[in-house]
Amino acid sequence: MRVLSGIQPTGRFHWGNYFGAIRQYIDLQQEHDGYYFIANLHALTTIRDSAQLQQLTRDAAIDLLALGLDPEKATLFIQSDVPEVSQLTWILMTGTPMGLLERCHAYKEKKARGVPADAGLFTYPVLMSADILAYDANWVPVGQDQVQHIEVCRDLATSFNHHFGEAFVLPEARVLDEAAKVPGTDGEKMSKSYDNIIGLFEDEKASRKKIMRIQTDSRPMEDPKDPETDHLFQLFRLMADGPAIEEMAALYRQGGFGYGHVKKAVAEVADAYFADARARRAEFENRPSTVDDILNAGAARARETAAAVLDRVESACGIKAPA
């Protein structure tokens, strides 16, 4: 099966990105043909600083490699390095009903909040569809909030196939593990939008400071507590091993501890969990040519696949004469 997913470089990756998505990308590469890209074209809807976008794109590539994405097992590339996707986007746009895009939640939510919605945001689902269809993807790992966009992709592909013949593979959404939703420093879902994140590769002292400031309830130390409803325990469980998790859960149930103890435990287990990734990241950062080689090779593989799909599509709809 071919698996495809993209991640926007709109900020440095945080714990929510890793446990909610990236870790599952890495698991999927073991048994499937993975195509993973850094969605810098999508990021243009929010980032207006060219130097910032270039740096965040570069950081995203290094971070993914450091976290375990293996270029020998998966294809890693930058979205804009495959111009065939932009060409395919226009072909899909000519058959996209306006009403379909007006119903998409990302556009509706921005509009409802009074945020200026440009044509890029409005047509975001079409570019996302081209991202998927250009590589004959079978599975697309997404959060529940992105399932609608996969449905749009299937609608556009089905419509094209109906009019011009079977040119597109119909992808399926693979919904990411909802249990992997990571609480932020305020207890809400970790998100850059909420300013409650803990960065994967930020300075360890800064990370510890954020952990020690995580909001907790005011129950007395002696009271027993339910670990399943506590966001500090949820963070600890993501990174600790089985015996440590059981020990911490027992401590919660018996009571007689302060949350400061748990915060220190979260900081320590996080340092250990990401230590190897930190070391790998330093190595990649010191070998920029290696990163360039990986991205160039990934783009070449991605372009070869996308070019074949585009040729098939252009032939089907009459832009190009069939071979």
Does the pTM of the predicted model rise above 0.75? yes
pLDDT tens for the 323 residues of the chain, in order: 999 999 999 999 999 999 999 999 999 999 999 999 999 999 998 899 999 999 999 999 999 999 999 999 999 999 999 999 999 999 999 999 999 998 888 777 877 777 677 899 899 999 999 999 999 999 999 988 889 999 999 999 999 999 999 999 999 999 887 556 799 999 999 988 889 999 999 999 999 999 999 999 888 888 999 999 999 999 999 999 999 999 999 999 999 989 999 999 999 999 999 999 999 999 999 999 999 999 999 999 999 999 999 999 999 999 988 76
CATH architecture assigned to 202-273: Orthogonal Bundle (1.10)
- The position carrying tokens 């939510």 is 109
Cβ(135)–Cβ(166) below 8 Å: no
Contacts for 171 with CB less than 8 Å, ≥ 6 apart = 4, 132, 133, 137, 138, 139, 140, 150, 153, 154, 157
- In the annotation, is 189 catalytic? yes
Residues 230, 188: Cα–Cα separation, whole Å: 11
- One-character DSSP codes across 94-116: TT--HHHHHT-HHHHHHHHTT--
Q: Can you give the pLDDT at residue 178? A: 57
**Would you say the CATH fold of 202-273 matches that of 2-181+288-317?**
no
- The Cβ-side half-sphere exposure at 228, using a 13 Å CA radius, reads 1
Say which DSSP state 207 is in: H
CATH architecture assigned to 2-181+288-317: 3-Layer(aba) Sandwich (3.40)
CA nearest to 299, candidates 105, 137, 71, 46: 71
Residues 185, 118: Cα–Cα separation, whole Å: 32
What residues does each domain of the chain span?
2-181+288-317, 202-273
Catalytic residue among 73, 111, 181, 189: 189
Catalytic residue among 73, 111, 181, 192: 192
Backbone angles phi, psi at 36, to 5 degrees: -125, 130
Q: Can you give the pLDDT at residue 49? A: 97
- In the annotation, is 110 catalytic? yes
Catalytic residue among 110, 111, 181, 264: 110
Q: Can you give the pLDDT at residue 145? A: 82
Phi-psi region of 68 (alpha: psi -120 to 50; beta: other; left: phi over 0): left
